[in-house]
Amino acid sequence: MRVLAIETSCDETGVALVEGVRDASGIFFNVLGQSLLSQAPLHAAYGGVYPTLAKREHQKNLPLIFSEALTQAGLGDHPSLEAIAVTQGPGLEPALWQGITFAQSLSREWKTPLMGINHMEGHLISSLAHRTGTNQWTLGSVPLPVLALLVSGGHTEFIVMKKWLAYERIGETLDDAVGECFDKVARMLGLPYPGGPEISRLAREARQKGLRSELALPRPMLRSKNCDVSFSGLKTAALYALRGKTLSEEERQAFARELEDAVAEVFIAKTRQALKECDAKTFVLGGGVAANVHLRESLTSMLKKEFPEVEIRLPELSITGDNAVMIAEAALTRLLSGGETNPKETLEMRADGALSIA
């Protein structure tokens, strides 16, 4: 079966047309067409995502991105589809509404049911899938339960999936998301938005040169016995550490490394705790911050050493950021697992900026 998916929760406008099949060995996805446009360079001028600008850009670009994806698929102007899937939340509501109203009018015009998809479920499912060809992905057989660490600009949570598509949250940030912490500290260092990739670039230099910062940062919540994390204290500690100082390029690199180390150490300890609590057979890392190489490597080496029986799934770097293929894959997994489209959803769907996965 086929779905068309639309993603506009933040500053990426994405449309994808994806086919999914299920057989005895699992679920397979074939990406027929996809188009993605990042607004990040425009938001960089404001130092972060500016919601009114995001809304306007989605509105302007959606028709173009949509026709690009459709042309790529080569199935004509009105392909036959099982459903139109759209990100319902979480995210910026003005941005989400652009995708939803576009999907609603398409759904009416094409008489195709609409499905609202949770953005975090998109990150989770797409990160579990692995590539089998240029445009092909599969979930294969995934040993359950799955422990997912979802890390993005707006969310940081430990989710357990004991049964397919049924989620339980066993830990989360008490304040800021880790991506937000990276972005804010990057800004303090005079780096452009989005700051996460910039921090990672500087930190890599520091690791290669063996540089360590004289400015130490805390490892918040390490002693608490649960799976919750907190990053606002880390951000404030960075602010105080940097106040009144002008760092040389090497000092900045070393400080970026210290931040990455602090974040990775917290996630290693909390992932260890989470794995002990949930007896997971598979671990998956998802969300924009899953692009952080140091975090990927630290988690992988801890898991291999301490939990060798747990299967590790890391998303390819090309799919860690927001995109519409992940929304299509979540929708297809729902449909192919016996989920149904609900025609009533079409008119009644509302954006939900705080939509929760569990």
Chain residues binding Zn ion by CB under 5 A are: 152, 322
Q: Are 45 and 126 in contact (CB under 8 A)?
A: no
- Spatial distance between the Cα atoms of 27 and 102, rounded to a whole number of angstroms: 28
Looking at beta carbons, which residue is closest to Zn ion? Answer: 152
- Spatial distance between the Cα atoms of 50 and 44, rounded to a whole number of angstroms: 9
Produce one character per residue of 91-126: b if its CB has 16 or more CB atoms within 10 Å, e if not.
bbbbbbbbbbebbbebbeeeebbbbbbbbbbbbbbb
Among ligand KG4, Zn ion, none, the one that 291 touches (CB under a kind-dependent 5 to 8 A) is ligand KG4
Residue nearer to ligand KG4 on the CB measure, 130 or 294: 294
Residue nearer to Zn ion on the CB measure, 198 or 322: 322
- Mention every residue, 6+ apart, whose C-beta is less than 8 A from residue 192: 44, 186, 198
Among ligand KG4, Zn ion, none, the one that 93 touches (CB under a kind-dependent 5 to 8 A) is none
Chain residues binding ligand KG4 by CB under 6 A are: 10, 152-154, 179, 182-183, 194-197, 200, 287-289, 291-292, 321-322
Rounded to the nearest whole angstrom, what is the least distance from the CB of residue 178 to ligand KG4 in the complex? 7
Rounded to the nearest whole angstrom, what is the least distance from the CB of residue 302 to ligand KG4 in the complex? 18
Among Zn ion, ligand KG4, none, the one that 292 touches (CB under a kind-dependent 5 to 8 A) is ligand KG4
Among ligand KG4, Zn ion, none, the one that 14 touches (CB under a kind-dependent 5 to 8 A) is none
The sign of the torsion formed by the CA atoms of 196, 197, 199, 204 equals: positive
Residue nearer to Zn ion on the CB measure, 9 or 107: 9
Residue nearer to Zn ion on the CB measure, 273 or 323: 323
Among Zn ion, ligand KG4, none, the one that 179 touches (CB under a kind-dependent 5 to 8 A) is ligand KG4
**Residue recorded with tokens 């490892």:** 219
Rounded to the nearest whole angstrom, what is the least distance from the CB of residue 77 to ligand KG4 in the complex? 30
Q: Indicate the angle between helix axes 51-73 and 93-110, nearest 10 degrees.
A: 30
Q: Are 177 and 151 in contact (CB under 8 A)?
A: yes
Residue nearer to Zn ion on the CB measure, 90 or 220: 90
Residue nearer to Zn ion on the CB measure, 112 or 152: 152
Rounded to the nearest whole angstrom, what is the least distance from the CB of residue 237 to Zn ion in the complex? 26
Nearest alpha carbon to residue 52 among 10, 88, 94, 13? 94
Q: Are 315 and 299 in contact (CB under 8 A)?
A: no
**Residue recorded with tokens 């188009």:** 35
Rounded to the nearest whole angstrom, what is the least distance from the CB of residue 357 to Zn ion in the complex? 12
Rounded to the nearest whole angstrom, what is the least distance from the CB of residue 323 to ligand KG4 in the complex? 9
User: Which secondary structure element, helix H or strand E, spans residue 236, and what is its range?
Assistant: helix 232-242
Nearest alpha carbon to residue 286 among 164, 175, 146? 146
Among Zn ion, ligand KG4, none, the one that 113 touches (CB under a kind-dependent 5 to 8 A) is none
Looking at beta carbons, which residue is closest to ligand KG4? Answer: 288
Rounded to the nearest whole angstrom, what is the least distance from the CB of residue 284 to ligand KG4 in the complex? 14
